[in-house]
Amino acid sequence: MTESDFTQTVLGNTGINVHRLGFSGTYRPGKETIYRALDAGINYFFGYGFDTQVVKVVRDVIKSGRDKVVIATGAYNLLLGHPNLRRTLEKRLRQFSTDYIDVFLFLGITKPKHLTDHVLEELNKFRQEGKIRATGISTHNRKFAGELASKGLLDLFMIRYNAAHRGAEEDVFPYLKEHNPGVVGYTATRWRYLLKRPKNWPQEEQIPTAGQCYRFVLTNPNIHVCMTAPSNIKQLNENLEALQQGPLTEDEMKFMHSFGDEVHHTKRWFMGKDHSATEVSK
C-alpha cells in the first residue's frame, strides 16, 4: 500500500474525496498549524462556530475555491430537547461564508429516542435543498449506529474507535457493507490515556506514540477519516510524519491490542465503568 492509498479515500457513499486525517481546532493550535495541515493535503475540517481559528482560515481558503475544504459541523443533542437544527445550519453557513456544508451532524446521540423521525426528515430536507451534502450523527451508542448503518438512514457516522475501544469492530463495521456510509473515528489516543504508562505496564516496555494511535485507527479500512486535534504545529508534524509509515505491521498491531487492553482494564478498574466523553482526540 502506498502512502497515497493510506492517506486518501472517498468518504463512503458521499462521493467526497478526503484526506484520512481530519482536523479539529479544539485546542486552538494557531493559524500557522491550520495552514500547515492544508499544505499537507488535509481537507476534512470539523468545526463549530466558536472555533474561530478554523472558521477564519477555512473562510479565507474557500475564497479561491470551495472544493479545497470539506467542512463538517453540526448541532448538539440537548438533554432538555432538540436544538433548532435549521437555525444552527444557517448560522454555520454564515460563519463559514459558504452556500453549503459538506457534512452536517446531529451530535451527541446517546439513545435511539434522540434521533426522531422529525430530525431525520429535517436533515434530509437540508440535503434536498442543497444546503448540505451529507447527513450524519456522532454517538457512543455503537449498537444503534450499527442498526442505522444497516438501514441506510444516514450518510455518515462519527464514532469512538481506538486501541482501547474496539467494540465498533463487532457492533458497527459488519453493518456497513450494503449502504457504505462514511465513518469518522475520534478519540484515537483515548483522551491521551494511550500515551501514558498504565500502573502495571512494565517500565522496560514501550508505550505508543500519538502517530501509532492514528495509524492503528487508519489501518482499519472501515474508518475513512480519523480526527486529530493538535495543540501546536509540532504535534501536527509528528502525526503527519507517522502516517508516512503506512498501516501498522502485524507485530505493531499486536502491541497496540495488548496495550489498549491494559489501558481499558485500568480505566474501568479506577472508574467502575467505561469513561465517556465527546471531545475529539488530541
Share of the chain above pLDDT 90, in %: 84
Residue 216 to residues 2, 45, 187, Cα–Cα distance (Å): 16, 21, 12
Query: Average model confidence (pLDDT) for the chain?
Result: 91
**The pLDDT of residue 273:** 36
Q: And the C-alpha cell for 82?
A: 432538540
Summarize pLDDT for 139-184 with one digit per residue, the tens. Answer: 999 999 999 999 999 999 999 999 999 999 999 999 999 999 999 9
Nearest to 226 by CA among 264, 165, 281, 156: 281
| pLDDT greater than 70 at residue 80 | no
pLDDT at 267: 60
Residue keyed to cell 479506577: 270
DSSP 20: S
Nearest to 16 by CA among 118, 127, 97: 127
pLDDT, tens only, 110-148: 889 889 999 999 999 999 999 999 999 999 999 999 999
Give the pLDDT of residue 269: 39
Residue 266: all three cell numbers together: 485500568
Which H or E run includes 216?
helix 210-219
Four-residue CA torsion sign, 138, 141, 144, 149: positive
Question: Which cell is 68 given?
Answer: 479545497
Name the residue ranges covered by the structural domains of the chain.
Answer: 3-271
Query: Does 75 have pLDDT greater than 70?
Result: yes
Cα–Cα distance list, 74 to 62, 126, 171, 174, 191 (Å): 19, 12, 24, 26, 22
- Euclidean distance between CA atoms 168 and 188, whole angstroms: 13
Give the three-state DSSP class for 7.
helix
Q: What is the model's pLDDT at position 3?
A: 64
> How confident is the model at residue 82, as a pLDDT?
61
Give the position of cell 457516522.
157
CA distance 174 to 230: 31
Fold of the CATH domain 3-271: TIM Barrel (3.20.20)
Provide the grid cell at 268.
Answer: 474501568
Give the pLDDT band of residue 282 (cuts 50, 70, 90).
Answer: very low
Question: Residue 27 and residue 96: Cα distance in Å, rounded?
Answer: 19
What average pLDDT does range 1-8 have in this prediction? 78
pLDDT at residue 274 above 90?
A: no
Instruction: Give Cβ neighbours of residue 224 (< 8 Å, ≥ 6 apart).
Output: 9, 10, 11, 12, 18, 20, 182, 183, 184
pTM for the complete prediction?
0.91
pLDDT score of 50 = 85
Residue 265 has a pLDDT of 87
> Within the chain, how many helices (H) and strands (E) appear?
10, 10
Cα dihedral 247/142/192/281 (nearest 10): 80
pLDDT band with cut points at 50, 70 and 90 for residue 275: very low
pLDDT band at 266 (very low <50, low <70, confident <90, very high): confident
Which triple of cell numbers denotes residue 60? 479565507
The pLDDT, as a whole number, for residue 110 is: 87
Cell numbers for 150: 444497516
Q: What is the pLDDT of residue 2?
A: 58
Looking at the predicted structure, is the pLDDT value of residue 271 above 70?
A: no
Return the residue matching grid coordinates 435511539: 112
User: What average pLDDT does the segment 3-18 reach?
Assistant: 92
More confident: 11 or 265 = 11
